[in-house]
Structure 1
Amino acid sequence: MEIFVDLHIHSDLSPCGDELMTPSNIVNMAFLKGLDAIAITDHNIGMNIEAAWNLSKERGIILIPGMELQTKEEFHSICLFRDLESFNKFQKFVLARLPNKKNNIEVFGSQHIYDSNDNIVGEYPLMLLNSVNVSIEEAFMEVEKLGGVLIPAHVDRDCYSIINSLGFIPESLDIKAVEVTDLKKFNNTIRLFMDKEYNVIQSSDAHKLENIFERKFKIKVCEMSLNGIIDSLRGITNNVKVGE
């Protein structure tokens, strides 16, 4: 079975996210664009996921709890989970290691937390655009322990990518998939530096509603469910490959 997904979307909780990126707006836009599954992946946090949870079910969209994590090596990875409980455990693990530095709203923007009716109910005080005191190895092991999947983000970019920061993907990590922005650039350049094949996903990294993918990128799953998607990305289902 093939489903259309966008696994890297920011809400207004990310300081770089547009103010219209509220939980309901994100889910409704994904519905209008015909997506089967999305992941809300704010920087080092995920406090707007629960607000979108019930609406996503009403719209028939699978909502994957996620986070764009910036480890101390200063590159980004998408971390996706099977349920809210596992995600909340990971969020607690990350926020305990976030530097105690107050967000500068005038410089970085607001970090709004919403309820299910898109009312602002809070603002996260610490700066989320920061590296947490966690190595990529520690992050990978924690995600694995919780049954999730860690995917190095936008590996074809010139900043905040594992290839740009390290020049390679550590062999000690059993990473199954990488995320790209431009498939053509990845195939013509970045792939040449990799010593093994990875499943490749393409995501929007949307910070505005109009940038959320339409039915552009699809993955193969054995079942239409959150577990089916995570299993596919982890590469543990039979003959299931992520593809364009």
Structure 2
Amino acid sequence: MRLAFDLHMHSCLSPCGGAENTPADLAAMCALAGLDVVALTDHNTVGNCASFCSAAARHGLLALPGMELTCREEVHVICLFPNLDRAGAFGEYVRRKLPPIPNDEAQFGPQLLMDDGDTVLGEETAFLAGAADIGIYDAAALTASYGGVAYPAHIDRPAFSLLGGLGLWDPAMRFPLAEVTPRCPPELAHRPDLAGVKLIVDCDAHYLHQIPDAHQYMDLPVRTPQAVLDWLRRGGI
């Protein structure tokens, strides 16, 4: 079956995430955009994933719990999981690796935890805008140990990206594919170090208006989170 997907978006729990990006409104906007498969990937946390997945299910969407991990090198990596239990365990591990300082609400805003009906449950006090003490060369294997798949985010950006920060794609990192932004210059795909690397386009939406209409598709034998992860592991084949 052919399913439209976007696997990188943020809720109001993320630093600099829009207050309107509640789990329920985010799921509703994804449905209006014609998406079939989506993922919530807040910065360094999975705290709103359960609410988002529940809200997405009401709209008939297949939602994966995820995280946008900031590695030690300040490279962003998308980490996706087959279920909430695995995602939660990964989230607890990452939280222990974050800097032991509180969120600066004046600079980054409140980090809101919400239920699937948009009731505020509390605030995450950890400094989610910081980098976890997890190396980029360990990210893929660590995510796999929790049953998930990891790949570098928005590699075409100059900041917080694999190419922007480290300057090259190294197969030793063992990422199956990479993400680029909708504004990625076409010539990036012709870099010699990216030869054979599948590039997918995600919106990285921090605000509702940034969620695009369906624009890319995956072909799956069954409509399950595991099938999505298997497709990613195969490099989008």
The TM-score range, normalised by the shorter chain, is over 0.9
Q: Partner residue of 2:90? A: 90
Q: Partner residue of 1:61? A: 61
Contact 1:4 1:37 in 2 (8 A): yes
Q: How does 1:38-187 map to 2 (within 5 A)?
A: 38-182=38-182, 185=185, 187=186
Q: Partner residue of 2:232? A: 233
Sequence identity (%):
32
Q: Partner residue of 1:20? A: 20
Q: Residues 213 and 67 of structure 1: is their aligned pair in 2 closer, same or farther, counting only changes over 3 Å? A: same
- The whole-number CA distance in structure 2 between the counterparts of 1:66 and 1:179 is 15
- The whole-number CA distance in structure 2 between the counterparts of 1:85 and 1:235 is 24
Cα displacement string for residues 159-183 of structure 1 (whole angstroms, at most 9, x for unaligned residues): 1110111111232222111000046
- The whole-number CA distance in structure 1 between the counterparts of 2:39 and 2:190 is 25
Q: Residues 225 and 26 of structure 1: is their aligned pair in 2 closer, same or farther, counting only changes over 3 Å? A: same
- The whole-number CA distance in structure 2 between the counterparts of 1:194 and 1:182 is 21
Deviation at 1:228, TM superposition (A): 1.1
Deviation at 1:44, TM superposition (A): 0.3
Q: CA RMSD in A?
A: 1.5
Cα displacement string for residues 130-155 of structure 1 (whole angstroms, at most 9, x for unaligned residues): 11111112222111112211110000
Q: Residues 94 and 184 of structure 1: is their aligned pair in 2 closer, same or farther, counting only changes over 3 Å? A: closer
Secondary structure of residue in 1 paired with 2:151:
strand
Secondary structure of residue in 2 paired with 1:164:
helix
Q: Residues 184 and 204 of structure 1: is their aligned pair in 2 closer, same or farther, counting only changes over 3 Å? A: closer
Count residues in correspondence: 237
Q: Partner residue of 1:215? A: 214
Q: Partner residue of 1:31? A: 31
Q: What amino acid is the match of 1:124?
A: E
Secondary structure of residue in 1 paired with 2:88:
helix
- The whole-number CA distance in structure 2 between the counterparts of 1:55 and 1:110 is 22
- The whole-number CA distance in structure 1 between the counterparts of 2:187 and 2:29 is 32
TM-score computed with the length of structure 2 as normaliser = 0.95
- The whole-number CA distance in structure 2 between the counterparts of 1:101 and 1:43 is 16
